[in-house]
Amino acid sequence: MNEAKIRTEEMLLNMGPQHPSTHGVFRVVVRTDGELVLESESHIGYLHRCFEKCAEGNNYLQVVPYTDRMDYLCAMMNNWGYAAAVEKLAGIEVPERAEYIRVIVAELNRVASHLLAFGTYGLDIGAITPFLYAFRDRERILKIFEKLCGQRLNYSYVRVGGVTFDMTDEILADIEAFCDYFDPKIIDEYDNLLSYNGIFISRTANVGVIPAELAISYGVTGPSLRGSGVQRDLRRDAPYGIYDRLEFDVPVGSGEMGQLGDCWDRYMVRMREMRQSIRLVRQAVKDIPEGPFCDKKAYRAVKPKAGEVYKRVEGARGEVGFYIVSDGTNIPYRVKARAPSFCNISILDKLTSISNVMIADLVAIIGSLDIVLGEVDR
């Protein structure tokens, strides 16, 4: 064959919207030179369900189930973010017991969400076994939630004024049993299985490095920001609920395996956060007081005075914020959701432009940002 005739050309490649490594319907158009990604352009909106428009047609309590369906992997935190915003707007006091229950369910949900992130990240990189381990343990948490509120994913459990059902002693015992089972044995097992696996480290260390300043400018929050070494956690920096009474550490990336802010750092922050979440659950289970689980009046109807509020909570993926405008009726005038995944994934195009990544690395980067498309598109 005549060698002069063989030319290499740049190729436009459409990754998604249906692609296993995008964790949902997310499309990236990549310009490639062989295996190298020269440029990428993200397209979102395939899962847009007009959450904000729907919220303008329902009363304050009816909006809660819509928030479940934003980030369906940690619905408790979405519920909580919305409920906290409405409570602040309407001046509703949450009973002490409900605050403890909220911490318990939110932290368990964080563990469940991080477990899924851990499992699917293994899949992205090419390790199938961790996924099966992660789902084995996630199932235990979902069983607890099912017992608590009859739902496995879309709980609508945290509601304005408190929670929907009371926590029984039996479920508290289940939760304690889960904590004893899970920490530290199981998390150590994960670390042996995947975190310190040589192949995994070579695939993730020094890949997709996000400098701290860039991350902040792109509005990246949550574990993805802490992976870049930034000490920022709303539970500690702007405590809501009863977090100011509980002890926990905020793990941040340190560039142990490569550069600070690489995929491994982001991954490892999640693994370490699980230990802290279990620590929080244990404290809350120990101290939970007796009393009502929801504000009686708010259980039935909520009608805030005219005004507006912006409230954020620390979700599993970053800062979940709700901006709510009330015109004094029982239907919100405007609800705007700040979805952490929406901001986190917006940095992807920048990452592919500042460094030469391989197509396989692109998969590793998307996985390490841990997005949920239901939340990106709302």
Q: Which residues bind another protein (CB under 8 A)?
A: 44-45, 48, 50, 52-53, 56, 88-89, 214, 216-219, 221, 230, 232, 237-238, 307-310, 312, 319, 321, 323, 325, 333-334, 336, 338, 342-343, 346-347, 350, 377-378
The angle, 0 to 180 degrees and rounded to 10, between the axes of the packed helices 169-181 and 129-149 is 170
Residue from 86, 159, 52, 56 nearest 305 by CA: 86
CB 136 within 8 A of CB 107: no
Which letter, b or e, does each residue of 257-288 get, where b requires 16 or more Cβ atoms within 10 Å of its Cβ? bbbbbbbbbbbbbbbbbbbbbbbbbbbbbeeb
- The CB-of-336 to another protein minimum distance in angstroms stands at 4
- The CB-of-121 to another protein minimum distance in angstroms stands at 24
Q: Which is nearer to another protein, 119 or 318 (CB)?
A: 318
Place of tokens 């120990």: 286
Q: Which is nearer to another protein, 136 or 334 (CB)?
A: 334
- The CB-of-308 to another protein minimum distance in angstroms stands at 6
Strands (E), the chain: 11-15, 18-19, 24-25, 27-33, 36-43, 158-159, 162-163, 307-314, 319-326, 334-338, 357-358
- The CB-of-345 to another protein minimum distance in angstroms stands at 9
Q: Which is nearer to another protein, 299 or 333 (CB)?
A: 333
Q: Which is nearer to another protein, 172 or 216 (CB)?
A: 216
Q: Which is nearer to another protein, 107 or 314 (CB)?
A: 314
- The CB-of-151 to another protein minimum distance in angstroms stands at 23
Maximal CA-CA distance, the chain: 84
Q: Which is nearer to another protein, 180 or 237 (CB)?
A: 237
Q: 322 pairs with which residues across the strands?
A: 311, 337
As a three-state string, the secondary structure of 240-299 is: CCCHHHCCCCCCCCCCCCCCCCCHHHHHHHHHHHHHHHHHHHHHHHHHCCCCCCECHHHH
- The CB-of-254 to another protein minimum distance in angstroms stands at 18
Q: Which is nearer to another protein, 143 or 334 (CB)?
A: 334
- The CB-of-213 to another protein minimum distance in angstroms stands at 8
CB 103 within 8 A of CB 288: no
